[in-house]
């Protein structure tokens, strides 16, 4: 397996998207027994580009310099496709967040992935309660 720094930021975002989505789904299933249609709706709201872009900014204060660099590399990567249902800025920031999660996951830093996800989740939960 290659070193995690050898992967393109878009490859990191590709795996990070799956990691983030799995964490959201796991959190939802373990919170309450809901119909799958409700799970899908809530999950979609949590993983859409606009929500991830918000978390891109939210996490910055908690990141190391290396983590910030990975997230910026992801944000600055040229996706080669147009964002569906998102602004270009939100799509790029979401890609940065996904790249960070992919980087941490592939480098074996799963506890850090979970720590950062919990920050995103707790902030999202607080906003939805307002």
Catalytic site residue 45? no
Are 74 and 100 a contacting pair, CB within 8 Å? yes
What confidence tens digit (pLDDT) does each residue in 20-79 have?
999 999 999 998 889 889 899 988 889 999 999 999 999 999 999 999 999 999 999 987
What are the residue boundaries of the structural domains of the chain, listed by start? 4-129
Range 4-129 has CATH code 1.10.1520.10: yes
- Among candidates 114, 123, 112, which has minimal Cα distance to 22? 114
Which pLDDT score is estimated for 123? Answer: 63
Global pTM? 0.89
Of 17, 45, 65, 66, catalytic: 17
């Amino acid at each position: 397996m290659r070193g995690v720094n050898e992967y393109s930021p878009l490859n990191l975002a590709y795996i990070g998207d799956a990691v983030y989505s799995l964490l959201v789904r796991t959190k939802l299933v373990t919170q309450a027994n809901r119909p799958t249609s409700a799970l899908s709706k809530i999950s979609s709201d949590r993983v859409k580009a606009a929500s991830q872009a918000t978390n891109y900014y939210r996490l910055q204060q908690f990141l190391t310099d290396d983590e910030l660099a990975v997230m910026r590399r992801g944000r600055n990567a040229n996706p080669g496709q147009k964002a569906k249902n998102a602004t270009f800025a939100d799509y790029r920031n979401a890609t940065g967040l996904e790249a960070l999660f992919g980087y941490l996951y592939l480098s074996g830093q799963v506890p850090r992935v979970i720590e950062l996800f919990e920050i995103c989740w707790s902030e999202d939960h607080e906003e939805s309660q307002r």
